[in-house]
Each structure stands twice: as structure tokens, then as C-alpha cells.
């Protein structure tokens, strides 16, 4: 029985390792990393469940002894501390990919499973399994580069298979790292076989295959097929600013801003110069560097633990080099690859997977080179009750983890069903699927955000009816209340993220013409968002639009001036400022600003240019009232959109943001320095 369980454990790990680079399913919102994580959870839990059952037969516990186990456990403990003291949404931080505590625990369990792999006499077994996966991955990358499915009729959820950049790993950088890792392994095997005078023809073929796939992946990164497939990396400078920012507080200096909370510090520290880049509207949830990300989210304790782990790896590699092991050079090169990836690429679950696989393979090499036992055995032969208790407790914990993981995965499935239904314009299924997803996983911020917008959309669609019945008004009020409730729930889950306050402000902004008091709620919520994202010109533009709709043109002009100061090359901000100046009867300034709009529009044949030119002529005539022209381009006055209901719907007092604002520390709003009125 013991031999059977050992073989079963071994094959569970082999299948899990083999499938990890290739496994994906289009039944979750994110096809790749999500499913790889749950595959890993499934494989490791089955492995340790079999180990618990095996305890009843072997009557002993075998604990692996490795050079890295203590540091990995310390790293996990630091993650726990970071969540407890820093992460606002502590439950989401448990399962968030790639840097959540659950994904980290799954990788640590994988490490211990690999170093205790039953019957493992091959020191390269781990790499050999993944080498086969890399061959298949390389073939897939090459085939899809030639777009074999371009003319196929595929359902909408499988349209991604028509992409020339498709890879089962998802990210092209992950694909590049994985293929490079095993291309170097193949090259090393070629030299090794030449030295030992063995046949290496197959290795040459595999090497060429991997190099071709690497070349294709590199080409699609440098020259993407279209704009939508461009790889956007987080700015390195802002990543450094975010890490340094954590040193301003003793708590964040030690344990960081918390797992799954990088986005909050990114918006806080990004400078106004970021608005001059092509990615100024993007907010990143990861750092440019994996090490900087660990520093930012887990503090100095997390960074020091990771650096100490690197030092331990260098020490073990030096020992192998002294002993002149034939595989030492390969592991040194692969170690340098892993280090470069940690230094220069954003964190991803594949990158963390490669790190832990490398540590496990290095550990197995060390144990076999030193001919030492890698296990510490605890004999429970004379303690049957203890054996039974340990088995029951272990299986109970595994069962509990499986149940929680299943709920999280089921929620992902239902949320993906809502996305598919939205594409089919099936509103009922969208609503029901998102409701079910939230019921299964009420701590996921994205679910609540999307559900708030779905309820707002339903309210707006219903409000467009020409004649509203009392039942319609009740339904509209219910949708609006639900929309506000969901948006406020997101703010409560993580009040440090500006995007959540922006979403709540967007909800209020869209019901200004429908609900009493929504205008004041909108302005108050936008101001909270601006505290958390002080250099975001879009927030200034939006709040200026609210003031403009309320005919408070002085405040509108001030907000638009701030938007222009933050992004002087943004034609729409200049356009809104010109109109606010015109409404304030500052005609000279309005003319100068509108002339500046024209200089920012390169295409003189565009609708935007014609509109701005028409408005400029109107300004020059100093008409007492400006007539709004048809706006078909990007230029538009940022006034709240949405239907008008008369009389307005009265919402309960708790629909306002007073409670959420009261719970937040009072912080002085950061006001950007306003530049002089632009001139042509």
C-alpha cells in the first residue's frame, strides 16, 4: 500500500508540473494565471492528502530538510503580518494572483512536495518534466504565429485563439522567460553530451525549436501585430518612488502597504510628468520589478527575506562549484536568469513558479551531491492515537481549503458567464450571474464594481422611457440604490484605492438629473478620489464638468485649469477650460485657450478641429450666449450624462457618501500648481 501511495503522489506531481505551463480554461474571467493557480492548489492538496493517508500505514512522519525551508516559511509569515497590519481588504489579499497569500502558500507547498518527491533518483527530474512542456509550448507559439484560425468561425469567448501572440502562458514576457529558461537547459545538455560523447541530435532539434519560439515571442513584443496587443510595462521610476514612499511610515517601512494593495500607492506617488506619456490613463497593480514589488507590498522585512534567500542560493552554488558538480554551471546560469527576471520584470505567477521550481531542483541537486538524507523522520509507531489525530486534522484542513478554493473558482466562473451574457445582450443572465458571483465571493472588489455599473445601466435604460409609471420609478430607485450600495461596498473593502472612489463618484454623477442631492455627493466623492490620486487630470476634468452643469463656472474653470496644469497637451481639458472662461465672460482668455486647442489637434480635417474652430469664431464675436454645436469627436464639455426624471427620485440619506468619508482620516487635498493660461 505504501508503494502504491508513493507512486500516486509521484504521478500527481508529475502531471501537475507538466500541465502548469500549458493549462488554461476560457471559463474564468482571466484564462491563464487563475487556472494555473487552481491547478496547483488541486495538485498540492491531493499530494498532501495522500501523505496524510500514508501516515496510517508508514506510522512515521518524514519532514524534508532543505537549505531554504526556514527562509520560505519566514517569507510566508511576513506575508501574513503584511496582510494583518497593512492590507485593507484582507480576505481578497488571501487569494489575489500573483502576490496573494494563497498563491504564495501553494508555491511553498509545491516546493516541499518536490523536494520530498517519492522515489526521485533523477536529480534533473523536475527540469525534465518541464522541458517536455516547453517543447509543446514552443510548437504552440510557432503555430499560432501564423494565425491558422484567422478564418475560422469561433464563439466570442474563443476569439482569443485568432491572435498571433497567443500562448498558454498568457503573457508574452512569461512565455519568453519560460522558453529561455529551458533553451539554456537544452544548450547545457548539448555541451554535456558532447563532453560525454553521447548522441545530442535530439537536443539540437529541441534547442532550435525553442530558439525559434523565443525569436517569435521577442518579435511580437518589439513589433506587436496591433496597438491593442502592445505590452505595457509599469514605469520603472514610479515603481522606485512607490518603494521609497513606504519608508515614510514605520508600519509600511516594515511590512509594506499590504499584499494586493500596490495600486493604492501607485496613484499616490505618480508624478504629473507621467501624464505626458502614452500610458497616462493606466494605473498599475504591480511594480516594474518583482523585488521592488515585494519591497513595496511586504516592506523591508519581505525584501530582506528575499535578498537573504538569494544569498543562500549563491552560497549553495558556490559549494557545488567547489565540489565540481557537472550541473553547477547550468544552475549558475539559470540562477542568473531568475535573478535578472526578479530585478527587471513585473511579478507574475509564472515568474514565482519558476523561482520555486528552481529552488526545488537546486535542493534536490544539493542533497544528491552530498549524499545526505533530505528527511527528518519522526517515529509514531507506538502512538496510534497521535497518527489518527494528525491524519484527521490534516484532511480536515485540506477539505476546508478545498471548499474555499472551490467557492472562489465558482465565483470566477459565474462572473465569466455574466461577461458572455453581456456580449449577447442578455441582461437577466448578466444580473443573475453577477449576483451569484458576489454571493460566492463577497470580498472581490471587481465584482462589486461591475455590479454597481450594471445596476446603473439598468436604471438609465429604464429611465429613458417616455412615460414612467409608479412601478418604473420604484424599479429605477431600486436599481440606483443597489448601484450605490455596491459602489460603497467597494470603497469599504479598500478605501485606499482611488479607482473605487472614482467609481462611486461616477455613479453619483450619472444620477444627478435623477436623484436629489447627487450633485453634492458627486463633488465630495471626487475630492476624496483626488486626495488618493492627486495628479490625475481626468478627476479634475470630471469634477469641473459637474460644476459646469451646476452653472458654477468659477469652480469649473478652476478645476479645468488644474486639469490643464497636470496635462497641458490634453486638448479636451483645454476645450473645457475655454468654455468655462467664456461662461465667466473672460472672453480674451477663452479665445487664447481655444486657439491653444487648435494647436493640439494635428488633423485639420477632423470633427474635433472643425468644432474648435467654429467655437473660436463664436468666442471672437463675444456672443452673449454660446450655442452648443454637434460634438462628434473627442472634444466635449464634461457635463454629467444620463436621463432626466421629474420630479427627482428621493433616495435614503444613507445613499450618500457621508459614512465612508467620515471613516477616512482627514487629509488636505493636494492641489497642483496651475500654469498660466496657455497661449497659441
What's residue 679's pLDDT? Answer: 29
Distance CA 375, CA 359 (A): 17
What's residue 484's pLDDT? Answer: 94
Helices (H), 20-100: 33-58, 69-85, 92-95
**How big is the CA angle at 30 (ends 452 and 111), to the nearest 5 degrees?**
125
Percent of the chain with pLDDT over 70: 90
Q: Strand, helix or coil at 515?
A: strand
Tens digits of residue pLDDT in 84-134: 999 999 999 999 999 999 999 999 999 999 998 765 666 688 999 999 999
Measured over the CA atoms of residue 392, residue 397, residue 403 and residue 409, the dihedral's sign is negative
What's residue 348's pLDDT? Answer: 96
Q: Are 265 and 257 in contact (CB under 8 A)?
A: yes
Q: Classify 128 in phi/psi space as left (phi over 0), alpha (psi -120 to 50) or beta.
A: alpha
What's residue 666's pLDDT? Answer: 44
Distance CA 622, CA 643 (A): 32
pTM summary value: 0.90
Cell of 308: 537573504
Helices (H), 86-118: 92-95, 101-115
Smallest CA-to-CA distance from 547 within 531, 524, 570 is with 524
Q: Where are the domains of the chain?
A: 2-149+156-381, 444-663
Strands (E), 289-434: 375-379
What's residue 651's pLDDT? Answer: 61
Confidence grade of residue 225 (pLDDT, cut at 50, 70, 90):
confident
Q: Are 379 and 59 in contact (CB under 8 A)?
A: yes
Distance CA 72, CA 661 (A): 40
Tens digits of residue pLDDT in 512-532: 887 788 899 999 999 999 999
Distance CA 71, CA 67 (A): 9
Q: Is the pLDDT of residue 168 over 70?
A: yes
Higher confidence at residue 318 or residue 325?
318
Strands (E), 343-392: 375-379
Residue 105's alpha-carbon distances to 1, 45, 75, 524, in angstroms, are 29, 11, 10, 41
Which residue bears the cell 520603472?
Answer: 236
Mean pLDDT of the chain: 88
Q: Length of the chain, please? A: 680
Q: Classify 197 in phi/psi space as left (phi over 0), alpha (psi -120 to 50) or beta.
A: left
Q: Strand, helix or coil at 345?
A: coil
Q: Are 673 and 565 in contact (CB under 8 A)?
A: yes
Q: Strand, helix or coil at 656?
A: coil
Confidence grade of residue 167 (pLDDT, cut at 50, 70, 90):
very high
Measured over the CA atoms of residue 366, residue 367, residue 371 and residue 372, the dihedral's sign is positive
End-to-end CA distance of the chain: 85
Tens digits of residue pLDDT in 626-645: 434 334 445 665 656 665 55
Tens digits of residue pLDDT in 456-504: 999 888 888 878 888 888 898 899 999 999 999 999 999 999 999 999 9
Cell of 186: 537544452
Confidence grade of residue 382 (pLDDT, cut at 50, 70, 90):
confident
Confidence grade of residue 670 (pLDDT, cut at 50, 70, 90):
very low
Q: Are 430 and 422 in contact (CB under 8 A)?
A: yes
Distance CA 213, CA 133 (A): 13
What's residue 642's pLDDT? Answer: 61
What's residue 654's pLDDT? Answer: 61
Decide: residue 255, CB within 10 A, 0-12 exposed, 13-18 middle, 19+ buried: buried
Tens digits of residue pLDDT in 22-38: 999 999 999 999 999 99
Distance CA 494, CA 502 (A): 13
What's residue 355's pLDDT? Answer: 97
Distance CA 20, CA 522 (A): 46
Smallest CA-to-CA distance from 350 within 86, 640, 130 is with 130
Distance CA 58, CA 530 (A): 62
Looking at CATH, the fold of the domain delimited by 444-663 is given as: 1.25.40
Q: Is the pLDDT of residue 72 over 90?
A: yes
What's residue 656's pLDDT? Answer: 67
Percent of the chain with pLDDT over 90: 68
Span 598-621, average pLDDT: 88
Cell of 413: 466562473
Tens digits of residue pLDDT in 234-289: 999 999 999 999 999 999 999 999 999 999 999 999 999 999 999 999 999 999 99
Q: Is the pLDDT of residue 195 over 50?
A: yes
What's residue 305's pLDDT? Answer: 97
Rg (CA), the chain: 29
Q: Are 579 and 559 in contact (CB under 8 A)?
A: no
What's residue 64's pLDDT? Answer: 81
Tens digits of residue pLDDT in 386-435: 889 999 999 999 999 999 999 999 999 999 999 999 988 898 999 999 99
Higher confidence at residue 443 or residue 56?
443
What's residue 636's pLDDT? Answer: 61
Amino acid at each position: 500500500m505504501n508503494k502504491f501511495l508513493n507512486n500516486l503522489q509521484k504521478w500527481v506531481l508529475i502531471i501537475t508540473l507538466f500541465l502548469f505551463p500549458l493549462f488554461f480554461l476560457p471559463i474564468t474571467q482571466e484564462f491563464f494565471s487563475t487556472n494555473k493557480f487552481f491547478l496547483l492548489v488541486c495538485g498540492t492538496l491531493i499530494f498532501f492528502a495522500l501523505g496524510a493517508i500514508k501516515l496510517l500505514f508508514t506510522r512515521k512522519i518524514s519532514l524534508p530538510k532543505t537549505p531554504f525551508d526556514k527562509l520560505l516559511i519566514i517569507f510566508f509569515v511576513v506575508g501574513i503580518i503584511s496582510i494583518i497590519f497593512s492590507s485593507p481588504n484582507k480576505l481578497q489579499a488571501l487569494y489575489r494572483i500573483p502576490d496573494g497569500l494563497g498563491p504564495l502558500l501553494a508555491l511553498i507547498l509545491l516546493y516541499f512536495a518536490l523536494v520530498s518527491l517519492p522515489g526521485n533518483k533523477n536529480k534533473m527530474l523536475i527540469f525534465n518534466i518541464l522541458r517536455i512542456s516547453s517543447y509543446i509550448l514552443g510548437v504552440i507559439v510557432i503555430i499560432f504565429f501564423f494565425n491558422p484560425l484567422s478564418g475560422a468561425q469561433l464563439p466570442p469567448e474563443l476569439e482569443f485563439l485568432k491572435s498571433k501572440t497567443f500562448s498558454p502562458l498568457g503573457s508574452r514576457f512569461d512565455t519568453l522567460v519560460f522558453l529561455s529558461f529551458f533553451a539554456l537547459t537544452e544548450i547545457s545538455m548539448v555541451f554535456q553530451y558532447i563532453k560525454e560523447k553521447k548522441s545530442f541530435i535530439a537536443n539540437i532539434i529541441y534547442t532550435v525549436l525553442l530558439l525559434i519560439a523565443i525569436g517569435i515571442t521577442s518579435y511580437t513584443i518589439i513589433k506587436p501585430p496591433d496597438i491593442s496587443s502592445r505590452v505595457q510595462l509599469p514605469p520603472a521610476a514610479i515603481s522606485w518612488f512607490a518603494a521609497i514612499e513606504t519608508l515614510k511610515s514605520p508600519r509600511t517601512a516594515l511590512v509594506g502597504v499590504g499584499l494586493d494593495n500596490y495600486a493604492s500607492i501607485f496613484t499616490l506617488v505618480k508624478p504629473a510628468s507621467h501624464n505626458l506619456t502614452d500610458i497616462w490613463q493606466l494605473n498599475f497593480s504591480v511594480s516594474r520589478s518583482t523585488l521592488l514589488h515585494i519591497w513595496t507590498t511586504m516592506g523591508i522585512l519581505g525584501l530582506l527575506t528575499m535578498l537573504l534567500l538569494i544569498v543562500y542560493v549563491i552560497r549553495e552554488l558556490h559549494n557545488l562549484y567547489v565540489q565540481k558538480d557537472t550541473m553547477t554551471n547550468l544552475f549558475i546560469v539559470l540562477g542568473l536568469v531568475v535573478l535578472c527576471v526578479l530585478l527587471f520584470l513585473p511579478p507574475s505567477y509564472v515568474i514565482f513558479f519558476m523561482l520555486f521550481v528552481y529552488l526545488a531542483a537546486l535542493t534536490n541537486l544539493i542533497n544528491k551531491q552530498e549524499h545526505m538524507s533530505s528527511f527528518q523522520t519522526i517515529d509514531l509507531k507506538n502512538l496510534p492515537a497521535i497518527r489518527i489525530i494528525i491524519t484527521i486534522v490534516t484532511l480536515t484542513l485540506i477539505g476546508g481549503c478545498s471548499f474555499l478554493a472551490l467557492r472562489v473558482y465558482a465565483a470566477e466562473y459565474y462572473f465569466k458567464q455574466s461577461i458572455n451574457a453581456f456580449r449577447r445582450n442578455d441582461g437577466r443572465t448578466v444580473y443573475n450571474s453577477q449576483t451569484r458571483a458576489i454571493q460566492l465571493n463577497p470580498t472581490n472588489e471587481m465584482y462589486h464594481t461591475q455590479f454597481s455599473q450594471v445596476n446603473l445601466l439598468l436604471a438609465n435604460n429604464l429611465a429613458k422611457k417616455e412615460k414612467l409609471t409608479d412601478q418604473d420609478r420604484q424599479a429605477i430607485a431600486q436599481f440606483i440604490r443597489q448601484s450605490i450600495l455596491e459602489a460603497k461596498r467597494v470603497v469599504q473593502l479598500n478605501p485606499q484605492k482611488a479607482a473605487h472612489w472614482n467609481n462611486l463618484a461616477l455613479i453619483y454623477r450619472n444620477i444627478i438629473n435623477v436623484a436629489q442631492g447627487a450633485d453634492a455627493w458627486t463633488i465630495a466623492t471626487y475630492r476624496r478620489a483626488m486626495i488618493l490620486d492627486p495628479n490625475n487630470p481626468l478627476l479634475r476634468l470630471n469634477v469641473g464638468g459637474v460644476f459646469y452643469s451646476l452653472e458654477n463656472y468659477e469652480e469649473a474653470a478652476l478645476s479645468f485649469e488644474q486639469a490643464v496644469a497636470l496635462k497641458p497637451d490634453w486638448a479636451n481639458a483645454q476645450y473645457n477650460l475655454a468654455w468655462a472662461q467664456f461662461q465667466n465672460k473672460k472672453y480674451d482668455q477663452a479665445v487664447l485657450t481655444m486657439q491653444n486647442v487648435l494647436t493640439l489637434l494635428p488633423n485639420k480635417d477632423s470633427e474635433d478641429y472643425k468644432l474648435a474652430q467654429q467655437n473660436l469664431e463664436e468666442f471672437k464675436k463675444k456672443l452673449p450666449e454660446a450655442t452648443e454645436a454637434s460634438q462628434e469627436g473627442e472634444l466635449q464639455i464634461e457635463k454629467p450624462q444620463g436621463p432626466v426624471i421629474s420630479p427627482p427620485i428621493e433616495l435614503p440619506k444613507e445613499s450618500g457618501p457621508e459614512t465612508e468619508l467620515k471613516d477616512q482620516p482627514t487629509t488636505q487635498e493636494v492641489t497642483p500648481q496651475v500654469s498660466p493660461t496657455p497661449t497659441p
